[in-house]
Amino acid sequence: MYKRVKLITGILIMTIACGPSSDHSVIDAVATARIDSTLQSFVELNRVGGVSALIIEDGKEVYFNAYGDADRNDGTKMNRNTIVQIYSMTKPITGVSLMTLYEEGAFQLDDPLEKYLPEFADPVVYEGDDEQGDPILVPAKRSVTVRDITRHTAGFANDRSAPYTGKLLQEANPMDANNTLSEFGKRLGSLPLVFHPGDEWFYGPSVDVQALLVERLSGQPFGEYVRDNVLDPLGMTETRYFVPEEDRDRMSSSYTMNNGDLVQVPDEQQHFFNTNKLPLQPGGWGFTSTLDDYQKLAQMLVNINKGELNGTRILKPETVELMATNHLSEDVTERLWLPTKGEVGFGIDFAVRLKPPQNPDENAGVVGEFFWDGAATTLFWVDPVNELTAVFFVQKFPFDGTLHRDFRRAVYGPFETPAE
């Protein structure tokens, strides 16, 4: 149920009046029961090993519960302090780090990337093969900009099975965990782009390039900068790359579908990156976190706080607004799988909802919300209209968007046809 009238990212959000102000909450007793039932069903139907969720509305915790197992093999239950691998939910943390430098005037969004990272100068674009089967490589129509790496329009190769660039990507292996960020940048910058900058939305290593940019502009290793300027100021002490031995019993195992069965993945395989101190500090993935830790980031971003939490300011309100504004023009029609997220555009490391869901199969949500998820099917969103933030944790491969659809529907209630 929607509740307020607000101006969000330049769009007037008309919401439905629903009685006295005390009854305006999204998460009431009915919603709580609906969410409980939904999460419990995920476990009972063997869709997940374990699941947890934490929702804050108007600055108050309005929902928490956990069901199932973090580790089926030893019987460890999913809990509030369970540590999960958040994969691409690392990206918004990197984006916030980058924008702290933006506020200092270290760069402008439309600056050419090569101004700060010369390894990305003079890009060429692969445009297929000629009649002899040789690659056609042409100069890019323009430089990659900082804005391109914040909205995934840079054109970086990210498909190892693609013609020509796929083999080059395999050989260069920029994301090898034994590479430093500088080595990663050198290797990625040596590869042809797969389209001209700004022409398409194509998910890939752009946010890892953001981490390199943070490192280069700040003069600090990325991991240190994000710790000093985002994580520690917010009290996010359990959001980290390396999980020490004494905390590993709280790490959730991961699960994968195998011939229709949910199978637990061996921890030594799945947790390797987070249980070894490796040179690579990626910006696009790699962090672990807990529900409460990640909610601190979400709460800092919601408009009740707008860049500040518990008296500590991380970003200016207008910077949060900039991040949560769509930066994709309608001319960018090639958007890979982004449309599966709903009627969305893309801001600075978030998807941004532009229209209400058009049918029951779309993810529920309100215009103006911004969000992202992770490869193990984790999810968070910020709903500025209702001043609501939600964090949803599972550890399931491959990515299962139906869990997000069902959880969101449990939060917001039955689908209502948008008004004409």
Q: What is the average per-residue pLDDT within 237-251?
A: 98
CATH number at residue 213: 1.20.58
As a residue count, the chain comes to: 420
pLDDT band, very low/low/confident/very high, at 94 (cuts 50, 70, 90): very high
Would residue 11 count as lying in a domain? no
Would residue 83 count as lying in a domain? yes
* More reliable by pLDDT, 46 or 8: 46
Mean pLDDT rounded to a whole number for the chain: 94
Would residue 348 count as lying in a domain? yes
pLDDT given for residue 418 in this prediction: 77
Burial tier of 269 (Cβ tally within 10 Å: 0-12, 13-18, 19+)? exposed
Domain of residue 183: give its range.
107-218
Task: Classify residue 338 as left (phi > 0), alpha (psi -120 to 50) or beta.
Answer: alpha
Residue 168 and residue 210 in one domain: yes
Residue 213 and residue 113 in one domain: yes
Residues 6+ apart with CB under 8 A from 266: none
Residue 329 and residue 235 in one domain: yes
CATH number at residue 363: 3.40.710.10
Boundary-marking domain end, from 218, 233, 259: 218
**pTM recorded for the entire structure:** 0.94
Strands 124-129 and 135-139: antiparallel
pLDDT given for residue 24 in this prediction: 72
Place of tokens 């003079």: 122
Q: Report the number of distinct structural domains present in the chain.
A: 2
Q: What is the average per-residue pLDDT within 392-401?
A: 98
